[in-house]
Structure 1
Amino acid sequence: MRNTARWAATLGLTATALCGPLTGAALAEPAAAASSLYAPSALVLTLGHGENATTVTPERAVTLTCAPTSSGTHPAAAQACAELRAVHGDFDALGAGPDALCTREYNPVVVTVDGVWRGKRVSYERTFANECVKSSYGTSVFAF
């Protein structure tokens, strides 16, 4: 049942993130609309404590829209979008910072990402050993 609630929340937030920027687009003139076409980049990021996303109830969720502009409920949307653009949307390429010093405490944190990056469907899940390790990866992307 938890997984169903997670998917329902994710789909609702994804729909909001994708359709939100489109409101009012029907009123634009055709020439203006054609010049502002872009591949959508709208993501829903969730965080919860546990081993994996199927056993974890998300504790926090944020939206992140990177095209045409950076927006969403992510606290550092502009920085997060810049980091994702730098790695071409590859979440695995977001590595730990060189100054990251974390304890070896095991208190797993699961981060999931669902949505669209530059027009392509994205589904990502990563389990970090603890909150410190999570915060050291892609500093702005996973900092919510």
Structure 2
Amino acid sequence: MRNTARWAATLGLTATAVCGPLTGAAVAAPGAAPASLYAPSALVLTTGHGGDAATATPERAVTLGCAPTASGTHPAAAWACAELRGLDGGLDALKPAGDVLCTEGFDPVVVTVQGVWQGKRVSYERTFHNACARDAVGGGLFAF
């Protein structure tokens, strides 16, 4: 009988130690996310003149972090993060703004975005006809 009581006490304490931390998450307020658990979002954006990233003359590079808040060297970090959230990180979905008119002058500009967006690897490169075309598509994201 003493062995049974000892085993029951041991199993009870083990269950409390293992499952106790799990019950705390269930008690949290509905809809509240844990403050320390978020997927990382950290990117490096570059721009330069040329036909592709390998041959372009680099002009500028900035960092952009979006989780938990906008940060980095990007001059419009909050705007850029909001734009990325609207695209769900899908940079291929970037479209030119309908009200922007650009000249036809050919002066190719290339942008790259490398890093992680909400825990997923991002590698993006796009060449634009000129800086105006880049700005028309990138909005706040490429405004650096």
Per the normalisation by structure 2, the TM-score is: 0.75
**Separation of aligned partners in 2, 1:139 and 1:35:** 30
1:112-137 Cα distance to aligned partner (Å, 9 max, x none): 00000000111100000000000011
Deviation at 1:57, TM superposition (A): 3.5
Instruction: For residue 58 of structure 1, give the secondary structure of its aligned residue in structure 2.
Output: strand
| Structure 1 residue aligned with 2:53 | 53
What are the ranges of 5 or more consecutive residues in structure 2 without an aligned counterpart?
1-24, 26-33
| Structure 2 residue aligned with 1:93 | 93
Per the normalisation by structure 1, the TM-score is: 0.75
| Structure 1 residue aligned with 2:28 | none
| Structure 1 residue aligned with 2:114 | 114
| Structure 1 residue aligned with 2:136 | 136
Deviation at 1:56, TM superposition (A): 1.6
Instruction: For residue 78 of structure 2, give the secondary structure of its aligned residue in structure 1.
Output: helix
- Root-mean-square deviation over aligned CA pairs: 1.3
- Give the structure with higher Rg (CA): 2
**Separation of aligned partners in 2, 1:94 and 1:75:** 20
**Separation of aligned partners in 2, 1:111 and 1:36:** 32
Deviation at 1:138, TM superposition (A): 2.8
Question: Identity over aligned residues, as a percent?
Answer: 68
What are the ranges of 5 or more consecutive residues in structure 1 without an aligned counterpart?
1-30
Is residue 43 of structure 1 aligned with residue 39 of structure 2? no
**Separation of aligned partners in 1, 2:56 and 2:46:** 10
Runs of 4+ with >3 A deviation: none
